[in-house]
Every structure is written in C-alpha cells, then in structure tokens.
C-alpha cells in the first residue's frame, strides 16, 4: 500500500522544460533511495504476483506450473476467506473506534493540570513500548486466563465465576488487547494536538457561553479532526495486518473466529504450504489495503488543506 503512495508523485510531474533540467541534475541524488525502494517493494510484489498465477505447493514443489487465475477463483470461493475479510473489518473498525474515542477523551483529561501528571502520562503511553507478542502473552496468561488470570480472580472473588475469554469471546479479547496496545499511540498524537489548541479560543468560547460539552463539541473536536484523521490512517494500515496478537493467543480460532486476512494468508502459506494460494490472498490484501489507503489519503489531504 505504501508503494502506491511513493510512486504516484513521480507520475504526476508535469513535463515542463525547467523541471526536466532540474530532474536530470537531481536524479543521481535520488537514485539510491529510489533503487532501494524498488528492491524493497517492487521485487517482492512482482514475486507475489508471479507466484499467484502458479500452482506451487511446498509439499509437492515439482508440480509447479502456470494455472492462470485458478488460485484467485479458489480463494474467492473459499468461505473462510470471506470470514477472514469480515473479521478484519470488524477488528479494524472496532479498534479504531475504541482507540480514537477513548484516546480523545483521555487526551482532554491529560491536558488538564493535575498532581502527578508527568508520571501519569508516561504510564499511559508505556503500553506502546511493549512488543505485541509480549503484551499478547501477558494478556493471555496473566490477565485473561480463566484459571490464573487477574480478571478471573477478581470475578471469582466477587462470586461471578470466570470468563474464558479466548474460548467464549475470542474476537472481543483480541480487540481488547490490540486496543490496549494502540490507545497510547492515539493518546499521544491527540494529546499533542490538543496542546496546540490556542487557549484564547477556549476562553473566547467560554465568554460566548459554551459549557464544557459545547467547548468539546465545537472547539476541541474540530481542532482535533486533522489529528484524528492521521491517527485513523496510520492505525488502519497497521490493523489490516494484525498478526502477532492472534498467533500468540488464539491461533486464529476457535474455528476461524479470529482469523483475519493476514492470518488467513499465513494459514494458507505456512500450514497448507500453498504458496500460490497464499500469494493470491496476499495480492487481494494488497488491493484492499490500497483501496483503504487511497480513501484515507484523500480524506487526510483534504483535512490538511482546510
């Protein structure tokens, strides 16, 4: 998805004379990074496209041959694929809503002066520094575990019994874990955005008769809209490829309950050894991600204009 972002401006350059002369003189300077990007992005992409039109199963690598779009028709007719797309969408949307919603509220809260503000901010941001596998393991074994987990102990202590999160609410459990990991990111961006709000604007609104809710609705939220768009874009790009949390906790299950697109491709490629099918799935994922990226870039670009 980022390849489209990088490549596009180069096509757009209008071929006017002064610019061409400038391009000639700067080409050697940009060449190293362009070549590196080409190797980094285009080569894997081309290989993926190549494999997606091949029958290539690692269990029987000798039987490799060109099979046209069979890989795509097979994947698109696989109900598991559509389930994984649905799961991906639910996961992305739910975590976006939670992180941006809570992030905005927390940003407003952390913008206030209170005792221990500095420490509270560091603590609130710290989950972001924990790597996904580790935080998923902590959530799985120390918090959500039905026997040893903290949540189970609390609910049992209250006489409510324990919830087996990964068996009964697997997708919700994943959503909670990913939200916990990404809330600090949203909070950080939104907090810096809210700190850049001119305090005289808030005071002017207070003089105009705005109560705290109106202040938030009419002054803070419009001010944050750009930052929210940026957070949504960056988070979406990462949420489309959530993997470690699923791999560590549920392994995509029970059944396909927590299999998103990335995990589906992983299942295809590394559990069924079907490189051709996985490549086809990967390409579909790239196309989907690009569609999302285009929409997001547009909305962000529009937001940056105004």
Partner 1 sequence: MSTVTLRDIHKRYTDVEIIKGVDLEIDDREFVVFVGPSGCGKSTLLRMIAGLEEISAGDLLIDGEKVNDVPPDKRGLAMVFQTYALYPHMTVAENMAFSLRLAGISKQQRYEKARDVARILQLEALLNRKPKELSGGQRQRVAIGRALVRNPKVFLFDEPLSNLDAALRVQMRIELAGLHDSLQSTMIYVTHDQVEAMTLADKIVVLQGGIVEQVGSPLELYHHPRNLFVAGFIGSPRMNFLAVTVSSVNDSGTIVKLPSDARVTIPVEPGSISVGDSATLGIRPEHLRVDQTNATIMGDVLVVERLGGETYLYVKVAGGETLTVQTDGDNMSQMHDRIPIHINGNLCHLFDANGAAIPKTYRHHLTQNGSHEQQHPHKLNY
Q: Where do contacts with partner 1 occur on this chain (CB under 8 A)? A: 198, 200-201, 203-210, 214, 218-219, 222-223, 225, 306
CA distance linking residue 266 with residue 157, whole number of Å:
40
Residue whose token pair is 């952390």: 110
Nearer to partner 1, 68 or 222 (CB): 222
Helices (H) and strands (E) in the chain, counts: 16, 2
Confirm if 124 and 116 have CB atoms less than 8 A apart. no
Smallest distance, Å, CB 231 to partner 1? 18
Nearer to partner 1, 65 or 217 (CB): 217
Pick the closer one to partner 1 by CB: 228 or 285.
228
Taking the complex as a whole, the smallest distance from the CB of residue 138 to partner 1 amounts, in Å, to 41
Q: Which residues neighbour 4 within 8 Å (Cβ) at sequence distance 6 or greater?
A: 290, 293, 294
Q: Which residues contact 62 (CB under 8 A, 6 or more apart)?
A: none
**Closer to partner 1 by Cβ: residue 68 or 212:** 212
| Cβ proximity to partner 1, 227 vs 280, nearer residue | 227
Least distance (Å) between residue 203 CB and partner 1: 5
Task: Tell me the closest approach of the beta carbon of residue 303 to partner 1, in angstroms.
Answer: 11
Size (the chain), residues: 306
Residue closer to partner 1, measured from CB, 32 or 116: 116
Look-up of token digits 């949203």: 186
With beta carbons less than 8 A apart as the criterion, state whether 281 and 72 touch.
Answer: no
Q: Which of 260, 251, 222 is nearest to 94 (CA)?
A: 260
Q: How far is the CB of 215 from partner 1 (least distance, A)?
A: 10
CB of 207 to partner 1, least distance (A): 5
CA 260/CA 95 separation, integer angstroms: 14
Q: Which is nearer to partner 1, 119 or 207 (CB)?
A: 207
Q: Least separation, in Å, of the C-beta of 235 and partner 1?
A: 23
Strand 54-55, strand 65-66: pairing: antiparallel
For 65, the enclosing helix (H) or strand (E) is strand 65-66
Residues 137-165: b if buried by 16+ CB within 10 A, e if exposed: bbbbeebbbbeebebbeeeeeeeeebbbb
């Amino acid at each position: 998805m980022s390849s489209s972002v990088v490549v596009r401006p180069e096509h757009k350059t209008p071929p006017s004379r002064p610019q061409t002369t400038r391009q000639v003189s700067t080409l050697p300077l940009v060449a190293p990074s362009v070549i590196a990007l080409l190797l980094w992005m285009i080569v894997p992409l081309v290989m993926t496209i190549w494999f997606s039109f091949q029958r290539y199963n690692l269990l029987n690598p000798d039987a490799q041959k060109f099979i046209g779009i069979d890989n795509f028709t097979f994947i698109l007719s696989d109900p598991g694929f559509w389930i994984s797309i649905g799961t991906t969408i639910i996961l992305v949307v739910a975590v976006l809503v939670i992180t941006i919603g809570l992030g905005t509220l927390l940003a407003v809260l952390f913008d206030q002066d209170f005792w221990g503000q500095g420490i509270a901010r560091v603590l609130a941001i710290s989950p972001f520094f924990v790597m996904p596998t580790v935080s998923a393991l902590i959530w799985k074994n120390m918090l959500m575990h039905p026997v040893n987990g903290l949540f189970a102990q609390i609910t049992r202590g209250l006489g409510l019994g324990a919830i087996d999160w990964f068996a009964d609410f697997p997708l919700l459990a994943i959503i909670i874990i990913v939200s916990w990991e990404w809330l600090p990111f949203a909070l950080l961006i939104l907090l810096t955005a809210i700190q850049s709000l001119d305090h005289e604007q808030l005071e002017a609104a207070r003089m105009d008769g705005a109560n705290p809710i109106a202040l938030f609705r009419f002054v803070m939220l419009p001010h944050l809209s750009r930052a929210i768009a940026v957070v949504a874009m960056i988070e979406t790009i990462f949420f489309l490829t959530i993997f470690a949390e699923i791999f560590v906790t549920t392994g995509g299950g029970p059944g396909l309950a927590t299999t998103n697109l990335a995990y589906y491709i992983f299942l295809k490629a590394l559990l069924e050894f079907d490189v051709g099918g996985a490549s086809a799935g990967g390409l579909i994922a790239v196309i989907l991600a690009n569609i999302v990226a285009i929409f997001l870039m547009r909305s962000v670009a529009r937001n940056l204009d105004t």
